[in-house]
Amino acid sequence: MGAGKLINEAENHILHTYNRYPVVLDHGEGVYLYDTEGKKYLDFAAGIAVQALGYGDETYNQALKAQIDKLLHTSNLYYNQPTIEAAEKICAAAGLDRVFFTNSGTEAIEGAIKAAKKYAYTKDGCTDHEIIAMNHSFHGRSLGALAVTGNAHYREPFEPLPGIVKFADYNDLESVKALVNDKTCAIIMETIQGEGGILLATEEFLRGVKDICEKRDILLILDEIQCGMGRTGTMFAWQEYGVKPDIMTCAKALGCGVPVGAFVMTEKVAQGSLKPGDHGTTYGGNPFVAAAICKVFDIFEERKITKHVKEIGAYLDEQLKQLKSEFGCIAAHRGKGLIQGLELAEDVPVGEISAKALEQGLILITAGGNVLRFVPPLVIEKEHVDEMIQKLKAVLPK
Ligand SMILES: *Cc1c(COP(=O)(O)O)cnc(C)c1O
């Protein structure tokens, strides 16, 4: 079937919640994708920061194939080896103590919120605790995750949303302080706001929030779903701030393509929160996705992925900076490692630029605030950055 016909079929049957780009992707190799017509694309989106290892990695694929033949799923009523190993690896990488595996980032957020609520409930027996979240944040689309997502457009049609949530301004410590009270049980934020437009927390802000949390036994939940797993040049973005969360959420590149997420916590939170009967999942962390996680951590270590991200991220940073100096339509450049953004002038809609880039054989996605988002596979090389810049130059208005 030709691409046009496939797209028609899709538009007849798939719920129209996405305005998709008009290509049908067929296969991938390295950091390139190919559509059903054989056209080649350089991928600077990685399936929204998921495919950290790119496509068709032999070692990763073999590990998954072997696990399919061995054991796919068991439920969480029994133990299995890959899940135990995956738990050890993620706890060791984060310096945290206990993990609950989920099927998505959204579910990791749900679990983190439940853990925080239960922690506060265990202390005082009350059910009127409050959560502080950030404006322009994104934590997912389920009702609980939406309740802490700082985007009124996403939230409004589905209100009332669960829980008492108050919104502060990211990087404005005073705005957080103004909302903290005796009922506050958690402060949730992304270490780097991804969907919101690639906005980095300042060190002062993150440390200030951590201080408030420590003084009042409020839990700090850091959402590392997009910025974690090596993307900034450390395994988790918070590791460079020296601020450790009480609960961390993880997903996207955690399984490098298999649907898996996690919320990970300190022993103290674990002891005071979710107990048998409080939370569960049929699929979460099954042997198949766990085998993927194990192999991802092994590959990260063997190939020194975070070191590579530091080097190539610095190169991408330089090239984007240079681009900004050449093109007046670029209003700002932000980011770190391999999560970067270019904010374009208001009269240059990013959607049009990413659509034109696609025609040039470059896959780029956008973020809030008219931002072009660069979240490529972590295994890209300088030549790929150069190729991307060339293609982008061809579509940016002079
Ligand atoms: C993508 C994302 C989520 C939601 O993850 P899903 O896997 O789509 O459910 C939550 N938080 C952040 C920061 C994200 O980037």
Query: Distances from the Cα of 186 to the Cαs of 112, 135, 165, 166, 213, in angstroms?
Result: 10, 15, 10, 11, 8
* Cα–Cα distance for residue pair 23/25, rounded to 1 Å: 6
Distance of alpha carbon 184 from alpha carbon 218, whole angstroms? 7
The reply to whether ligand 1 has any atom less than 6 angstroms from the CB of 194 is yes
Longest pairwise C-alpha distance within the chain: 62
Q: Give distance in angstroms: CA of 250 to centre of ligand 1.
A: 9
Q: Based on the number of CB atoms within 10 Å of its own CB, is 92 exposed (0-12), middle (13-18) or buried (19 or more)?
A: exposed
Coil, helix or strand at residue 394: coil
106 C-beta closer than 6 A to ligand 1: yes
Q: Locate the ligand 1 atom nearest the alpha carbon of residue 223 and give its number.
A: 13
Residue by residue, pLDDT tens for the chain (398 residues) are: 899 999 999 999 999 999 999 999 999 999 999 999 999 999 999 999 999 999 999 999 999 999 999 999 999 999 999 999 999 999 999 999 999 999 999 999 999 999 999 999 999 999 999 999 999 999 999 999 999 999 999 999 999 999 999 999 999 999 999 999 999 999 999 999 999 999 999 999 999 999 999 999 999 999 999 999 999 999 999 999 999 999 999 999 999 999 999 999 999 999 999 999 999 999 999 999 999 999 999 999 999 999 999 999 999 999 999 999 999 999 999 999 999 999 999 999 999 999 999 999 999 999 999 999 999 999 999 999 999 999 999 999 98
Q: Shortest CA distance to 279 belongs to which of 168, 117, 134, 143?
A: 117
* Element at 43 (helix H, strand E): strand 40-43
Residues 246 and 265: their CA atoms lie apart, in Å, by: 6
With beta carbons less than 8 A apart as the criterion, state whether 188 and 153 touch.
no
Q: Which residues pair with 248 in a beta bridge?
A: 222, 264
Whether the CB of 190 sits within 6 Å of ligand 1: yes
Q: Taking Cα atoms as reference points, which of 153, 156, 155, 130 lies closest to residue 141? A: 155
Note the helical H segments in the chain.
Answer: 3-13, 46-49, 58-70, 81-94, 105-124, 143-147, 152-155, 173-177, 203-216, 267-272, 287-302, 305-326, 350-359, 382-393
> Count of alpha carbons within 13 Å of 249, Cβ hemisphere only?
31
Q: Is the CB of 224 under 6 A from ligand 1?
A: no
Ligand 1 close to Cβ of residue 50 (< 6 A):
no
Choose among 191, 147, 182, 153: nearest CA to 166.
Answer: 147
Atom of ligand 1 minimally distant from the CA of 190: 13
Question: Looking up tokens 């993307």, which residue turns up?
Answer: 231
**Cα 4 to averaged position of ligand 1 atoms, centre (Å):** 30
CA nearest ligand 1 atom 11, residue: 139
The SS3 of residue 302 is helix
Measured between alpha carbons, how far is 227 from 229 in angstroms, rounded to an integer? 7
DSSP-assigned letters across all residues of 342-364: EEEPTTS-HHHHHHHHHHTTEE-
251 Cβ closer than 6 Å to some ligand 1 atom: yes
DSSP assignment, residue 397? Answer: -
Check if 110 has its Cβ closer than 6 Å to any atom of ligand 1: no
Predicted local distance difference test score (pLDDT) of residue 311: 98
Whole-number Cα distances in Å, 156 to 139, 146, 147 = 15, 10, 10
CB 294 within 8 A of CB 82: yes
What per-residue confidence (pLDDT) applies to 398? Answer: 86
Cα 237 from Cα 224, distance rounded (Å): 7
Cis preceding linkage at 160, omega within 30: yes
Pocket test for ligand 1, best of 107, 143, 226, 263 (most atoms within 8 A of CB): 226
38 CA distance to ligand 1 middle (Å): 31
State if residue 226 touches ligand 1 by the CB under 6 angstroms criterion: yes
Q: Measured from the CB, is residue 139 less than 6 Å from ligand 1? A: yes
Q: What are the start-end ranges of the E strands in 155-297?
A: 164-168, 184-190, 192-193, 199-200, 219-223, 247-250, 261-265
Q: Which residue has the CA at smallest separation from atom 6 of ligand 1?
A: 105
Rg of the chain over CA atoms, in angstroms? 21
- Whole-number Å distance, alpha carbon 25 to ligand 1 midpoint, is 22
Distance CA 33, CA 43 (A): 6
The pTM score is 0.98
Q: Which residues of 372-395 are buried (b: 16+ CB within 10 A; e: fewer)?
A: bbbbbbbbbeeebbebbbebbeeb
How far is the C-alpha of 3 from the C-alpha of 21, rounded, in Å? 12
Q: Which atom of ligand 1 is nearest to the CA of 145?
A: 10
Q: What angle do CA 289, 295, 299 make, to 5 degrees?
A: 145
- Which atom of ligand 1 is found nearest the CA of 48? 1
Is residue 140 lining ligand 1, measured as CB closer than 6 Å? yes
d(CA 328, CA 226): 29
With H, G, I as helix, E, B as strand and everything else as coil, classify residue 134: strand
